[in-house]
Each structure stands twice: as C-alpha cells, then as structure tokens.
Structure 1
Amino acid sequence: MLSIVDADAYIETNVIDIEDWQEADQAKKQRIINAANTTLQKRFKKYEIPELAVYHFAAILAIVFSDINRLQQHGVAGISVTGVSSTTFKENNVKTPGGTTLHKFIPEEVYDMISELNNVKLAPRRIGRSVR
C-alpha cells in the first residue's frame, strides 16, 4: 500500500533532487502520491505498477508543482525577495500542467521499473510514421 513514509524513504535514498518533496507538507505529499498513482494506472492500464515507480514519479511531480514552478505556470515572469533571492523564468521553462497531461512528466526510470516488473519493454516516446 502506498504511504508517505515509504515514499520519503525511497525518495531520500534514490532520487537526486529531493528538496521540493521534502518541503511539501503531508497533505500535499499525499495528493502528489495520489496523482502519480492515478496517472500511472491510467497510462499503463494493462501493467502492474510497482510502488517504487509511483514514488519516483511523485518526486518529479513535487518539482513540477513546487511553489516556484507554480508561479511560472500562473504566468509570473520573475520574483525577487530583496537581499535573499531573485528568480527570472525562461519562456516555456516548465510546461503548464493545465495545458498538458501529467503523463508527459513520467521519467524514463519509471518506464524502466514498470518494464522490469512486467517483463516488457516500454518506452517514453512512440515512433510513428510521418504523414505527408
């Protein structure tokens, strides 16, 4: 069963960029886990999803929906706290979640985890024919 305690343990041991996850409160962590799980269940309907894949994806979603990135998603061009910090966003640095589905943020590591558990080869990108 998915839990914040297990997610914390996995993320703090196996994910490099963990600050946004660590800074989230318990309620937000639970929402992120729920969103990660729902997204993976919908994306990979016929496959079993390992809990660790959900936790790995949750760490990515914590970054995408961090306080700073949320400001950019809402159209803020830059912020500054005098003497502390200044942030200016590049155009299209983070995709607006309202304009795309969450599965666009699934990292390759998650595809690999699901592939390994289900003994299949899943890839993040599909290669199709060009239409002319």
Structure 2
Amino acid sequence: MVNVADANDYISANCIDIEDWTDADEAKKQRIVNVASRTLTVKYPTYTIPDAAVYEFANVLAVVFNDTNRLAQHGITGFTLDKVGSFDYKDSSVSGPDHDLSKLIPRVATALIGAENGVNPLLRKVGRLIP
C-alpha cells in the first residue's frame, strides 16, 4: 500500500528533481500520493498499479502544484520583487479545478504499470483496419 514514508524513500533514491517533494509538508505529501494513486487507478482500472508508478507520478504532481506554479494556475502572469527580480509564467500546464491530471502521468509511470501487467498501456486501438 502506498504511503508517504515509502514515497520519501523512493523519490529520494529514484527521481532527479526532488526539491518540490522534499519541501512539501507531510499533509501535502499525503494528498499528493492520494491523488496520484486515484488518478492512476481511474486511468488504468484493469491494471495493477505498482507503488513505484504512484511515487513517480507523485513527484511530478509535487512540481506541478508547488507554491510558485500555483500562482500561475490562479491566473497570475508575473510578478516583481523590488531589487530582486522579475518572474513571468508561461501558460500553466494545469488550469481550473476540473483539469485532467492523467495528462501529467509521466512515461516512466506508464512503463512501470505496463511492466507490472505485461502490457504496453501506451498502445491504443484506433478503430478497425479494413484490408
């Protein structure tokens, strides 16, 4: 079962950019793990979701929902700190409360799900082929 302690261990050992994860408080980490797990389960309901896939996705969500990116999600396009610097945001990858978070699932998480289930969930059937 996924949990924050195991997520901390996994992310520290296996992910490159971990600052947003490590900077989050325990309650936020728990929410992120919950959302990552739920999103993967809804996206791939017939597959077993390995804990590692949840943790990879959780680390991505920690970046997307860090304090700085939250400003962009709330419509702020930029701000200036007197004599320090100016910060401008590109379009947010997440906008609005009903955004489809499954679009943020990293390929490594999908590959882990595929390996666990012996399938390639990236392959999609697109209708019937006619000879």
Task: State yes or no: 1:53 paired with 2:71.
Answer: no
Query: Using the alignment, how far apart are the partners of 2:126 and 2:96 within structure 1?
Result: 25
Instruction: Output the amino acid matched with 2:20.
Output: D
Q: Deviations over 1:17-64 (max 9, x none)?
A: 111111100000000000000000111100000001000000000011
Query: Using the alignment, how far apart are the partners of 1:46 and 1:78 within structure 2?
Result: 42
Task: State yes or no: 1:88 paired with 2:97.
Answer: no
**Higher Cα Rg: structure 1 or 2?**
2
Percent identity for Structure 1 against Structure 2: 43
What TM-score results when the alignment is normalised by the length of structure 1?
0.87
The Cα shift of 1:85 comes to 4.5
User: Counterparts of 1:61-80 in structure 2 under 5 Å?
Assistant: 61-80=61-80
Contact 1:69 1:94 in 2 (8 A): no
The Cα shift of 1:95 comes to 3.0
Partner of 2:105: 106
Contact 1:72 1:94 in 2 (8 A): no
The Cα shift of 1:3 comes to 1.4
User: Counterparts of 1:7-18 in structure 2 under 5 Å?
Assistant: 7-18=7-18
Secondary structure of 2:13 counterpart: helix
Query: Using the alignment, how far apart are the partners of 1:83 and 1:126 within structure 2?
Result: 52
Count how many residue pairs are aligned between Structure 1 and Structure 2.
127
The Cα shift of 1:79 comes to 2.3
Query: Using the alignment, how far apart are the partners of 1:128 and 1:107 within structure 2?
Result: 22
Gaps of 5+ in 2: none
Contact 2:69 2:92 in 1 (8 A): no
Query: Using the alignment, how far apart are the partners of 1:97 and 1:6 within structure 2?
Result: 30
Partner of 2:114: 115
What TM-score results when the alignment is normalised by the length of structure 2?
0.88
